[in-house]
Structure 1
Amino acid sequence: MSTGKTKTLRFFIAAVIWWAAYAVMLASQAVDYHRMNGQYITWTFALKYGFGGTWTWIPMTMVCYCLALHRPIGKTNLGFTLLANSLVVAGFIIAKGTYMYYTWDYFGWYDELPSFIEVLDTSLRINMMMGWMVVGLAHGAVFYSKMEERGQRLSELSRSIISVKLEALRAQVSPHFLFNALNSVAELMHENLETADKMVVAISGTLRDSLSREDQQVRSLRDEIEQLQNYLFIEKIRLGDRLKIMVDVDEEVLGLCIPVLTLQPIIENAIIHAIARSKTQGWLVIRAWRQADNLRVTVENSISLEGARKDGNGIGLKIVADRLALLYGEKAKISWGEVEDYCYRVGITVPILEGSSTREVRMNKVPA
C-alpha cells in the first residue's frame, strides 16, 4: 500500500473512532437529560440515537480530508478552496437535513415531524459551524502530515549531505597514507629490495582493508587497532630500533565504536613529523579507556630533539577533527599539543552510542 493510501486509511480510522466517541457522549447526555426531567430512556435507545446522528459525519470528514489533500489552502488558490469547502458544507447541511427528515420514523428525532423546510433550517443552525470545524481539522491534519514529510525529507537530505562529506573526508585518508608509505618504499628501494617488497605487501593489505569498508563510518576499537598492524609493520621495518610502540588499552573498550581510520593519520603524523626525524630511539603510546559515557583515546609520542618537520600541512588531524564533528557534533572532542618536555599528545573523546558493543575481545599484539 502506498504512503498516501496508508495515511488516508489512518485518518479514516481516526475519524471513525472520533465520531464513535462523540456518539457515545451524545447518548450519555441524552440519558442524563431525560433522567433530570424525570424521564427514563434505555442506553440502547440513546446509543441508537447517538450513532444514528453522528455516523453521517464520517463521510463528510473524509470528503473534507480528500479535498484538503488535493486542494490545500494556499495564497494562490484561497478563493477556490474557500468556495469548494463552502459548497461541501452546504451540500452536507442539505444532505443531513434530508437524512433527518426521512429517518424520523426510525430514530424519532422529533415528537412530531415538522416540514422539510423547518428540518433544513434546523440542520443549517446546528451543522454549519460543526461543518466548518471539520473543514479546519481536515486541513490541519493535511498540513501536519505535509510538515512531517518535509521534516523527514530535510532530515534525509541532511544525513545525505553529512554522508557525502564523511566519504569525501575519508577518501582523503587513503591517499594521505599512500603518499607517505610510498615515500618510505622509495627510500628503501636503494637499500634493501626484499624489505621494500614486504612493505609493498603491507601497503596492499592496508588499502584492501580500506576498500572493503568503504561504506562503513565506524567500527570497533579492536578493528581500528588491528588495521594499524600493516602501517606499523612498515614503519617498524623502516625505523627498526628507533621506533618503540606501546599499547595500553582496557579490554572492556575494545568492542566500542570509533570512526574508521581515526588513529592512522594521527600515528602517521607522530612517526613522520617527530619520531622519524630523531637519531635516537623514539616512542609511541596508544591508550584507551572508558570515562563515564565516553570513550577516551590518546596517542602520545616523543618529540625529536631536532624539532618537528615544518613541511606538514596538518591534513591528517584536520580530517579526523572534521569527521568527528560530522558524526558526533559537539559530543566529540579532539585536542593536540605538547603536554610536557619531549611529549606530544593527541586526545580524542567520543560518546558511547547505544548499541555499541562492550563485550571483551582479544587484540593481536602490535609489533614492539
Structure 2
Amino acid sequence: MEPTLGLPKFLPRWLCFGVFWILLSVLFASQAYWSGYAPWPEALWLEAAHWLSWGIVSPLVFWLCRRLYRGERTWTRYAAGLLLGAIVISLLQPALTQLFIFLSDGVRWLLSVADAPPRSFLPTLHVAAVKVAGYNLPIYAGLILAWHAMTYYTQLRDRQVKAMELESLLHQAQLQTLRSQLNPHFLFNTLHSIAELVHRNPTLAEQLILRLGELLRQVLRSSTEQEVALAEELDFVKGYVEIEQMRLGERLQVTWEIAPEALAVKVPSLILQPLIENAILHGVAATTRAGVLAIRAACDHGYLHLQVRDTGPGLPQAGKAQVGIGLSNTQTRLRRLYGSGQRFELLNDNGLVVNIQIPLAAPALEAAT
C-alpha cells in the first residue's frame, strides 16, 4: 500500500502491525467479559496490557531471527539462540504487562480512584511469569514461524521479480541481436559484397549467400533459454563472424583459443554476440589497416574466463567512456545473474579488451538473489 498525504513509507506497515495487536486485545477481552471473568473496561485493559506488550517485544523476536539466520546458518547456533531468546522473552513480556498494570494502579491510587496502593511489582511479576509461561511459548514460536513465512514470501517475490527482469534482458538481447544481424545496413553491405563478387569470384559469392541464409535460419531457431552451453553460443556467433570475414576479406583476421573443458560450461544466452559485433564494427572496421579479433575461453579456479580482444582504436579514457547498448546490457545481465561472483571489465591494450569472469557451478537465478 502506497503512503498518502506525505506519510512516511513505513507507517502503513506499522499501523497494520498495531491494529493486529489491538484486535487481539478486543477479541480476548470480549471472551473474558462474556464469560463473566471481569467487567468490560477492566477486561479490555488487562488484555490490552498483555497483547500490546507482545506488540512491543515482537520486533525483538524478529530481530533475533534475522540476526541468527544470516551467515553460516548452523542449526546448533540457531536453536541455542532461539532458546536463549525464549528465556528472555518469557521474562520481558510479563514484565512489561505488569509494569503497565502497576503504573495504571499507581495513577488511579494517586488520583483517589482506587482504594488501595498498587501491589509490589516483583512478587506480582513472579506470579505472572509463571502463569503465562504455558501459552507464551507457543506465541513466541508462532512469531518465529511468522517471520520465516514473511522472509520466504519476500525472497520468493524477489526471485520472481529478478527472473522477470532477466527474462526481459534476454528478450532485449535477442532483439538487439536480430537488429544487429538483420538490420538493413548489415544486409546492404553483405548484398553489396555479394554483387561485387558475382562476376569476380562466383564461388565466394555463392558461399556468402549460403552462409547468410544459414545465419538467418539460425537466428530464427535460436534458443530462448536463459543459459546455454558455450559450444552452442560459439556456433551461433561463428556464423556472424564468418560473414564478416567474407565481407571484410583480409582486413579481418580471427583467432579462436577455446579450451576443450570450457565448451560444456553454461553461459548466458547471447552473451558473446554483442561483444564480437562491437569489436568488429567499432574496432577492426573502424580503421583502414588489417585488424585481429581474438576470442578466448578457459576454466581456472572455479571460474570461466571469456575474452574478446580487437586491435582497433579502443576506448577513449578507458573506464569513463560511454558504452553502447550491447555492452551495457551484457554487463547488467551478468550482474543480475551472478551478483558479486562475476567480473566484467573493459581495458585498452592495443585495442579494446573485454574480460568476463563467471562462476562455473553457481546456478544463475539463485546467484542473482
Aligned twin of 1:347: 355
Aligned partner of residue 270 in structure 2, secondary structure: coil
Aligned partner of residue 22 in structure 2, secondary structure: coil
Judge conservation of contact 1:206–1:230 (CA < 8 Å) in 2: no
Paired residue for 1:331, among 341, 348, 352? 341
Aligned twin of 2:170: 170
Aligned partner of residue 334 in structure 1, secondary structure: strand
Aligned twin of 1:292: 301
CA separation of 1:86 and 1:192: change in aligned 2, threshold 3 A: same
Paired residue for 1:206, among 216, 219, 236? 219
Judge conservation of contact 1:178–1:203 (CA < 8 Å) in 2: no
Code of the residue aligned with 1:285 in structure 2: it is: A
Judge conservation of contact 1:243–1:275 (CA < 8 Å) in 2: yes
Give the Cα–Cα distance (whole angstroms) in 1 for the partners of residues 172 and 312 of structure 2: 26
Report the Cα offset of residue 229 of structure 1.
2.3
CA separation of 1:353 and 1:131: change in aligned 2, threshold 3 A: farther
Q: Confirm whether residue 137 of structure 1 aligns to residue 127 of structure 2.
A: no
Judge conservation of contact 2:178–2:219 (CA < 8 Å) in 1: no
Paired residue for 1:322, among 321, 332, 340? 332
Q: TM-score, normalised by structure 2?
A: 0.57
> After the TM superposition, which residues 250-261 of structure 1 pair with which residues of structure 2 at under 5 Å, given as runs?
250-261=259-270
Give the Cα–Cα distance (whole angstroms) in 1 for the partners of residues 344 and 192 of structure 2: 39
Aligned twin of 2:247: 238
Aligned partner of residue 248 in structure 1, secondary structure: strand
Aligned partner of residue 323 in structure 1, secondary structure: helix
CA separation of 1:132 and 1:203: change in aligned 2, threshold 3 A: same
Judge conservation of contact 1:202–1:233 (CA < 8 Å) in 2: no
CA separation of 1:163 and 1:129: change in aligned 2, threshold 3 A: same
Judge conservation of contact 2:193–2:247 (CA < 8 Å) in 1: no
Report the Cα offset of residue 200 of structure 1.
4.1
Give the Cα–Cα distance (whole angstroms) in 2 for the partners of residues 316 and 259 of structure 1: 14
Alpha-carbon RMSD across the aligned residues, in angstroms, is 3.4
1:126-151 C-alpha deviation (Å, 9 max, x unpaired)? x9866622321222222222221211
Paired residue for 1:186, among 173, 185, 188? 188
Aligned twin of 1:152: 152
| 5+ long unaligned stretches in structure 2 | 1-17, 38-126, 196-205, 317-321, 365-369
Aligned twin of 2:25: 79
Report the Cα offset of residue 204 of structure 1.
2.7
Judge conservation of contact 1:174–1:207 (CA < 8 Å) in 2: no
Judge conservation of contact 1:249–1:289 (CA < 8 Å) in 2: yes
Judge conservation of contact 1:203–1:230 (CA < 8 Å) in 2: no
- Range that drifts further, 263-272 or 179-188: 179-188
Superposed structure 1 runs of 4+ greater than 4 Å apart: 84-87, 127-131
CA separation of 1:173 and 1:130: change in aligned 2, threshold 3 A: same
Give the Cα–Cα distance (whole angstroms) in 2 for the partners of residues 167 and 238 of structure 1: 34
Give the Cα–Cα distance (whole angstroms) in 1 for the partners of residues 229 and 276 of structure 2: 18
Aligned partner of residue 279 in structure 1, secondary structure: coil
Aligned partner of residue 261 in structure 1, secondary structure: coil
Mark the structure with the bigger radius of gyration.
Answer: 1
Q: Confirm whether residue 223 of structure 1 aligns to residue 241 of structure 2.
A: no
Give the Cα–Cα distance (whole angstroms) in 1 for the partners of residues 30 and 212 of structure 2: 77
CA separation of 1:170 and 1:355: change in aligned 2, threshold 3 A: closer
Give the Cα–Cα distance (whole angstroms) in 2 for the partners of residues 335 and 85 of structure 1: 67
CA separation of 1:154 and 1:231: change in aligned 2, threshold 3 A: same
> After the TM superposition, which residues 103-114 of structure 1 pair with which residues of structure 2 at under 5 Å, given as runs?
none
- Number of aligned residue pairs: 240
CA separation of 1:175 and 1:237: change in aligned 2, threshold 3 A: farther
CA separation of 1:190 and 1:285: change in aligned 2, threshold 3 A: closer
% identity of equivalent residues: 24
